[in-house]
Amino acid sequence: MTALSDASVRRLAEVANLPDLSETRYTLLEEIGRGGMAAVYRARDETLGREVAIKVSSAPGEREDLDARMRTEAAVLAALEHPGIVPVHDAGILPDGRAFYVMKRVRGTLLREVARGAAGLDERLRILERVCETMAFAHARGIVHRDLKPENVMVGGFGEVLVIDWGVARVPGAVDEPGAVLGTPGYMAPEQAAGRSGDATERADVYALGAILSTLVTATEPPADPGVARAALLAERELPRRLRAIGAKALAADPIDRYADAGEMAADLARFRAGNPVAAHPESWLERTGRSVWAYRAAVGLVLAYLVMRIVVAWVTG
Amino acid sequence: MGSRTTTGSTFPPTRLTVLERIRSEEPDERRRAFGPLVEGYWKPIYAYLRIRWRLPPEEARDATQSFLAAAWEKRWLERYDPGRARFRTFLRTCVDRHAMNLGQAAKRLKRGGGAAIVGLDFETAEGEIRERPIQDPVDQDELFRREWIRDLFSRSLEEVRLEHVTTGQAGRFALFERYDLGPEEGLSYADLAAELGITVSQVTGRLAAVRRAFRARALDNLREACGTHDEYRVEAREIFGIEVA
């Protein structure tokens, strides 16, 4: 027995967990991502001659719960044909016992990077609106993502927005283990954090969308406590009041006070971006007037200039 | 020290850990549990004493023997508290304390006793250390961890090699050794397939089979070396990125 070099030890640790694609039509190229429960690899589909992404469970035949999640995720993705959701091409069990599915290889940037970058407010809100629309599509089919966060949204090179990682999604009829906490602190609705992930409805996803909004507009991580998260967003005085109201409504501690689903939030974001009143913030007469004046500031300016000129002319000509 | 013949990578989660068994009041059970711990840790302890404590080979050998003997006689390992540290960290601090005491009272150095120490091949261990450049990282815990994983992998690999040789599959292991342990620049599956007169799919399959065997053996050995089942799960995740039951 010879001693292994440091490089050999590293190499062994890597290869020991490589998925066994020997009885499939795919050739492994490289690992492109890893989460707690699965890894994603770039691979080549030899039959169709194209690159794909393969997600493989990190539990080689040992964790039935993780394999079940992979199967659920593949089924969810297959059921949701939408431009905001990565299409699935294939799924199954590898010779080494691990669950896998094959999807379109998407090239892009995670929303986390967008949040840290130089994108303007409207671009950030456009992305969030697309996420809300995708989630509205899923919610209409009874599917709740339960782990929405900036790491699970990808923005493609042509501006397309994709919601990824549906591994802990709730599908109609499925039952969770009691007490299971599924989600990510800061983005997880209080009912999920309390171990009632099985009770997580569309409104839990709305909470996460509110937390993503907070991240996008403040460039800071949302606090795990919903009261603190909501107060922190409302304290951002440089943000328009209507936008803060949208975030605050989504981040309400009580699910009943949130948007009923992502579609409602998408509609409010669209109204905000168009300069219209939003459902989250009933305006006073003064606010409505001020917003209208601002929206038509060019025309109002011309009218005011004309009136001033008439007054000056009248005064000069006596 | 012969290789063990355990196979497979699954086991009931309720199975007693080595540490639970070593706390047994039954002397035979305790002795049986101590053996795998010695097997799994003597070489990292020796390497650690050589590199970190800079002991000459002879002194490091005696210190390793006396540490293991004292651990058996004074039931040191039974004091391990999983709530405070990982088992290997606990063990490393015990080794540090032992080495410090030896330095202060060299006369207390002794060997053997009633410990279940099998024949430890220090000459090979010393040769292995000399084969590679000795680096002393700042973090002593990292040094011990690195030596421990090196030994874990080396033993597991040797067991897999023997298994392949005895079942007439030495060629398959040689393929794995060549591609995964000594990757030649630019060597592809297609190159290997052409050279061996087999298909690329067969190369993929053979490599995958040996990797799977190595992973199963390494997980078995890892489990034997961990203080608790939770620790085993954490170590498996950190070392291999694998979630175990």
- CB contacts < 8 A (A, B): 105
Q: Residues A217, A219, A222, A223: is their CA dihedral positive or negative?
A: negative
Q: Tell me whether residue A1 is in a domain.
A: no
| Residues on chain B touching A58 (C-beta within 8 angstroms) | 241-243
Q: Which of A8, A17, A95 sits opposite B242 (nearest CB)?
A: A17
| Residues on chain B touching A27 (C-beta within 8 angstroms) | 189, 200, 204
b (16+ CB within 10 A) / e for A120-155? eeeebbbbbbbbbbbbbbbbeeebbbbbbbbbbbbb
Name the burial class of residue B139, with classes exposed (0-12), middle (13-18) and buried (19+) by CB atoms within 10 angstroms of its CB.
exposed
Residues A115 and A100 in one domain: no
| Residues on chain A touching B212 (C-beta within 8 angstroms) | 20, 60, 96
Q: Tell me whether residue A7 is in a domain.
A: no
Q: Tell me whether residue B157 is in a domain.
A: yes
Overall number of domains in chain B? 1
Higher pLDDT, B119 or A277: A277
Q: Tell me whether residue B2 is in a domain.
A: no
Q: Which of B131, B200, B241 sits opposite A39 (nearest CB)?
A: B241
Higher pLDDT, A23 or B96: B96
State the CATH number of the domain containing residue A61: 3.30.200.20
Which pLDDT score is estimated for A63?
A: 65
Residues A37 and A170 in one domain: no
Which pLDDT score is estimated for B116?
A: 40
Residues A69 and A167 in one domain: no
Q: Of A54, A85, A104, which marks where a domain is finished? A: A104
Range of the domain at B110: 18-240
Residues A113 and A188 in one domain: yes
Residues A234 and A217 in one domain: yes
Range of the domain at A219: 108-282
Which pLDDT score is estimated for A2?
A: 64
| Residues on chain A touching B128 (C-beta within 8 angstroms) | 2-3
Q: What ipTM score was computed for the predicted complex, to two decimals?
A: 0.74
Q: Which tens digits make up the pLDDT trace of A181-230?
A: 677 889 999 988 887 766 789 999 999 999 999 999 998 899 888 889 99
Residues A161 and A31 in one domain: no
First to last CA, chain A: 111
Q: Tell me whether residue B182 is in a domain.
A: yes
How far apart CA A181 and CA A220 sit, in angstroms, is 24
Which pLDDT score is estimated for A152?
A: 93
Q: Which of A27, A39, A96 sits opposite B208 (nearest CB)?
A: A96
Residues A138 and A272 in one domain: yes
Q: Tell me whether residue B214 is in a domain.
A: yes
Residues A127 and A212 in one domain: yes
- Counting other chains too, the contacts that B60-65 makes at CB distance below 8 Å and 24 or more residues apart are B61/B122, B62/B109, B62/B111, B63/B98, B63/B99, B63/B102, B63/B109, B64/B120, B64/B122, B65/B111, B65/B112, B65/B117, B65/B120
Overall number of domains in chain A? 3
Q: Which tens digits make up the pLDDT trace of A55-112?
A: 998 766 556 777 777 888 888 888 899 999 999 999 998 877 788 999 999 889 999 9
Q: Which residue of A has its CA nearest to B213?
A: A16
Q: Which tens digits make up the pLDDT trace of A304-317?
A: 999 999 999 988 88
Q: Tell me whether residue B7 is in a domain.
A: no
Residues A258 and A192 in one domain: yes
Residues A139 and A34 in one domain: no
Q: Which tens digits make up the pLDDT trace of A240-267?
A: 999 999 999 999 999 999 999 999 999 9
Query: Would you call B212 and A39 a contact, using CB atoms and an 8 Å cutoff?
Result: no
Q: Does B129 touch chain A (CB under 8 A)?
A: yes
Question: Residue-wise pLDDT tens for chain B (245 aa)?
Answer: 333 333 333 333 334 577 777 788 788 888 888 888 888 899 999 989 988 888 888 888 889 999 998 888 888 888 888 888 888 899 999 999 998 888 766 544 444 444 445 567 787 887 777 776 666 666 888 888 988 999 999 999 999 999 999 999 999 999 999 888 876 777 888 888 998 899 887 888 888 889 989 988 998 899 888 888 888 888 888 888 777 76
Q: Tell me whether residue B86 is in a domain.
A: yes
Q: Tell me whether residue A113 is in a domain.
A: yes
Q: Which tens digits make up the pLDDT trace of A36-67?
A: 778 899 999 989 999 999 999 876 655 677 77
Task: Let me know if A90 is a catalytic residue.
Answer: no
Q: Of A104, A135, A153, which marks where a domain is finished? A: A104
Q: Does B214 touch chain A (CB under 8 A)?
A: yes
Q: Of A104, A125, A146, which marks where a domain is finished? A: A104
Quick one: what percent of chain B has pLDDT higher than 70?
Answer: 82
Residues 6+ apart with CB under 8 A from B194: none
Q: Which tens digits make up the pLDDT trace of B131-157?
A: 766 666 668 888 889 889 999 999 999
Which pLDDT score is estimated for B94?
A: 93
Residues A48 and A125 in one domain: no
Which pLDDT score is estimated for A181?
A: 62
